[in-house]
């Protein structure tokens, strides 16, 4: 057994699996590396990739706002943002639009929430829905414009399909409509998923990333000039993700980068050239039976990550080494058979890594934090009774 699994295994030996464990020393090293890579540009923490308040406090401080190179949260749900703001967070940028009318009414009723939370928009229809939900024309919500950062080469679309806003003219028109409806346009976001979320797996991928970086840098400047001509100075120019920090900070217009997966480092982030992956979060589950001498069946384990279905989305057994999923069964809802398991006995543990970061926290009520010889236990969002979709 090799570190860090050895330390996690020993520190949780008295606990019954399944369980999730986080190596705090590795997490802190990963956090420091994100700050180093950002080279003075503030790092906004993507909460969907964390989903544990104690870990957010570890990197942002007890006030959930800023500490040591990290500044602000990128939330994924307005209800999540309301909850975090009531716990003290004072800089939350929603990464996605919201149509939650009740949550919008809550936002509008509290001046502190209004100043702490910035909504994401990319459509006039969203502005109209928000305005209807907040009611009073004197309420001026903060909004950030989501601008499509995908790469298009002729009919080929490389990247995720997010915002319909792409050109400087479209962005300026949306900013103008927002201002006319009483919104404060405070930022622009460009998320280059085809750079941030795509491993450096081959030369073709690296070529696409370089082309995409050049294209979005040029277009982002044009978009920003157009939006500023309508809204004036912007507080937020957000870009990037764990896999594209260096690309984002190369643009002097970018005021902040977003990262979250780089704290836990799931398997989807194993093949990037920009940084050395140091996995921090694992889960363990027990061997229930041995259908053959070389196969061990563990409890549960079928924690499949979101995204296109395939081998990259299944959990990876990492200890004992050499274990493999069985192709005809994969990782199951209530049991997972593993090959090359001759050395395992009933009751032994198998440690896995998840394919994505925060999604694992939807499967566990708590995470065991291991810091050297010390261990503490903290709730996940789920453990606090929170499910934001």
What does the pLDDT average to over 168-194?
93
Query: What is the pLDDT, as a whole number, of residue 45?
Result: 98
Q: Is the pLDDT of residue 54 over 60?
A: yes
pLDDT digit string, tens, across residues 126-148: 999 999 999 888 999 999 999 98
For 265-300, the pLDDT digits (tens) are 999 999 877 788 899 999 999 999 999 999 999 999
**Residue 135 has what pLDDT?**
87
- The pairing of strands 92-94 and 316-319 is unpaired
**Across residues 236-265, what is the average pLDDT?**
93
Note the residue count of the chain.
389
Whole-model pTM: value is: 0.93
Query: What CA–CA distance (Å, rounded) separates 176 from 68?
Result: 36
- The pLDDT of 299-309, averaged and rounded, is 94
State the pLDDT at residue 205.
63
Question: Assign residue 278 a region: left if phi > 0, alpha if psi is -120 to 50, beta otherwise?
Answer: beta
217 by DSSP, 3-state: which? helix
| Per-chain mean pLDDT for the chain | 93
* pLDDT value, residue 1: 46
| Mean pLDDT along residues 346-364 | 97
SS3 category, 295: strand
Comparing CA positions, the residue from 363, 342, 246 lying closest to residue 296 is 342
Instruction: For 312-345, write each residue's pLDDT tens digit.
Output: 999 999 999 999 999 999 999 999 999 999 999 9
């Amino acid at each position: 057994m090799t570190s860090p699994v050895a330390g996690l295994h020993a520190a949780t030996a008295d606990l019954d699996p399944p369980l999730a464990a986080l190596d705090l020393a590795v997490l802190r090293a990963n956090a420091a590396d994100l700050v180093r890579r950002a080279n003075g540009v503030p790092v906004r923490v993507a909460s969907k990739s964390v989903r544990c308040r104690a870990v957010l406090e570890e990197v942002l401080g007890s006030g959930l706002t800023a500490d040591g190179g990290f500044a602000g949260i990128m939330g994924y749900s307005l209800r999540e943002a309301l909850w975090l703001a009531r716990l003290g967070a004072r800089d939350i940028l929603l990464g996605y639009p919201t149509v939650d009318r009740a949550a919008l009414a809550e936002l509008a009723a509290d001046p502190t929430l209004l100043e702490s939370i910035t909504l994401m928009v990319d459509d006039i229809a969203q502005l109209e829905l928000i305005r209807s939900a907040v009611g009073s024309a004197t309420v001026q919500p903060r909004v950030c414009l989501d601008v499509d950062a995908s790469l298009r080469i002729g009919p080929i679309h490389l990247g995720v399909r997010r915002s319909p806003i792409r050109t400087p003219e479209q962005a300026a028109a949306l900013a103008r409509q927002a201002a006319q409806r009483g919104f404060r346009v405070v930022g622009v976001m460009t998320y280059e998923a085809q750079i941030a979320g795509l491993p450096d797996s081959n030369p073709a991928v690296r070529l696409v990333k370089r082309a995409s970086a050049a294209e979005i840098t040029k277009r982002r400047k044009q978009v920003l000039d157009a939006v500023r001509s309508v809204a004036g100075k912007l507080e937020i120019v957000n870009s990037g993700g764990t896999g594209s920090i260096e690309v984002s900070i190369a643009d002097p217009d970018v005021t902040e980068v977003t990262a979250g997966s780089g704290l836990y480092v799931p398997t989807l982030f194993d093949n990037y050239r920009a940084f050395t992956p140091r996995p921090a979060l694992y889960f363990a589950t027990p061997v229930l039976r041995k259908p053959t001498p070389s196969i061990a069946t563990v409890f549960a384990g079928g924690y499949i990550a979101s995204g296109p279905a395939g081998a990259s989305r299944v959990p990876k057994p990492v200890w004992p080494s050499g274990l493999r999923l069985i192709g005809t069964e994969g990782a199951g809802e209530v049991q997972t058979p593993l090959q090359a398991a001759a050395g395992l006995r009933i009751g032994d543990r198998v440690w896995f890594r998840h394919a994505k970061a925060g999604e694992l926290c939807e499967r566990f009520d708590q995470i065991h934090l291991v810091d050297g010889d010390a261990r503490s236990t903290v709730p996940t969002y789920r453990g606090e009774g929170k499910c934001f979709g």
